[in-house]
Amino acid sequence: MVMKLAFSTLGVPGLPLSEVLALATAHGYHGVELRAHPEEPVHPGLGPAERAAAAAAFTAAGVEVLGLAGYARVAAPGADEPVLTEIRHLLDLAHDLDAPFVRVFPGGGDQPAADADATAVRRLTDVAEQAAARGVRILLETHDSHRTGAAASRVLGAVGHPQVGALWDVMYTWLGGEQPSETYRALAPYLGYVQVKDIASADDTTPLPLGAGVLPLTECVDVLCRHGWDGWLCWEYEKRWYESAAPLPGLLGAGRAHLTRLLSEAA
């Protein structure tokens, strides 16, 4: 059982792709999660030549595109078509970059849970076959209105399509009061990959170096290893939202060493 390690470009906002790939190779990361936003060098507005160049750069560097972190909110109130169009554009870009995953948010807001669930199920069902045709899985992140594995699994179980799965953000499930074993049990049938991070407390979510905060990373890795899961761990360091956070490049080596140590100890 070998888990692969990645980091998100959310930690190095706006950094040119060549420099992102240099960081990945210098510090031994197998892949990169690309924040798919117009602020970034890779986003759905790229033309065919730019997409081909980005894909070639990853291939040349020997680094994988783990996935595209999109911002479509599948449970949000309002018309379906703008949300579906946003997801379709992400699927096309992921296909062109040979990326296996596209991340979407719940975004249900303050709606009754049943209404938010129904909206998410309807939209995800609508795009599931396009995801299959493009060879990409859509992953619903444990976030905002559906922060726990239990909440996300309500939607995913109702969709019931293999190309629609889960992205486990360990901070949100912890904030939602779930133990890692509970989250894994809920998400195991759907799990695409796991986002790891660390913070000081529930009241201070400023990103910290891995192992320097309160999130149950050891327990998360333990439960994954205990069940023989061999997917990706992706470090999502939210520098984009916290200007006071230490720069990620100087932390990448120690972060990889920490994850490698957790994996070794769990094995």
The CATH architecture of the domain made up of 4-266 is Alpha-Beta Barrel (3.20)
Q: Rounded to a whole number, what is the largest CA-CA distance in the chain?
A: 48
pLDDT at residue number 2: 79
Distance CA(169)–CA(234), nearest Å, equals 9
Kindly report, residue by residue over 119-136, the tens digit of the pLDDT: 999 999 999 999 999 999
Structural contact between residues 121 and 154, judged by C-beta atoms closer than 8 angstroms? no
Distance CA(115)–CA(113), nearest Å, equals 5
Contacts of 176 (CB under 8 A, 6+ apart): 142, 147, 148, 151
pTM for this predicted structure: 0.98
pLDDT at residue number 1: 53
Which residues on adjacent β-strands are paired with residue 68?
Answer: 34, 102
Kindly report, residue by residue over 31-68, the tens digit of the pLDDT: 999 999 999 999 999 999 999 999 999 999 999 999 99
Sequence spans of domains, the chain: 4-266
What is the helix (H) or strand (E) element at residue 80, kind and residue range?
Answer: helix 80-97
pLDDT at residue number 79: 98
pLDDT at residue number 186: 98
Q: Is the pLDDT of residue 236 over 70?
A: yes
Kindly report, residue by residue over 148-197, the tens digit of the pLDDT: 999 999 999 999 999 999 999 999 999 999 999 999 999 999 999 999 99
Backbone conformation region of residue 225, classed left if phi is above 0, alpha if psi is from -120 to 50, else beta: alpha
Band of the pLDDT at 237, cuts 50, 70, 90? very high
Kindly report, residue by residue over 68-108, the tens digit of the pLDDT: 999 999 999 999 999 999 999 999 999 999 999 999 999 99
